[in-house]
Amino acid sequence: MISNEDLVAFFTYHAPNMEQQARYQAIRAAAITFAKVIVNHTPESADQTAAIRKIREAVMTANASIALENKYDIRSTATS
């Protein structure tokens, strides 16, 4: 069950330290490279747009993982 403490942590700003900033940058750099490959090798379409959106979602989720440092794991509460 997601606790109130979890909710507060999920929606609180977590200022990054220097090491985290480097990890964020590495993820963004890889995402940009991947997004460019998709745009350059697929036709403009709803699927192309969806692929880019999913990269953005993956970056945001990875960033949340870094920000929370896996202190709050909701995997056991996620539904399939």
Q: Count other C-beta atoms under 10 Å from residue 46's C-beta.
A: 7
What is the C-alpha separation between 17 and 67, in angstroms, rounded?
9
Which of these ranges, 10-14, 24-28, 30-34, 73-77, has the smallest mean pLDDT? Answer: 73-77
Say what the pTM is.
0.77
CB-based contacts of 38, cutoff 8 Å, min separation 6? 48, 51, 52, 55
Question: What is the per-residue pLDDT for 43?
Answer: 98
Question: What is the per-residue pLDDT for 9?
Answer: 84
Q: Which tens digits make up the pLDDT trace of 35-72?
A: 999 999 999 999 999 999 999 999 999 998 999 886 65
Question: What is the per-residue pLDDT for 80?
Answer: 41
Q: Are 6 and 42 in contact (CB under 8 A)?
A: no
Give the pLDDT band of residue 6 (cuts 50, 70, 90).
Answer: confident
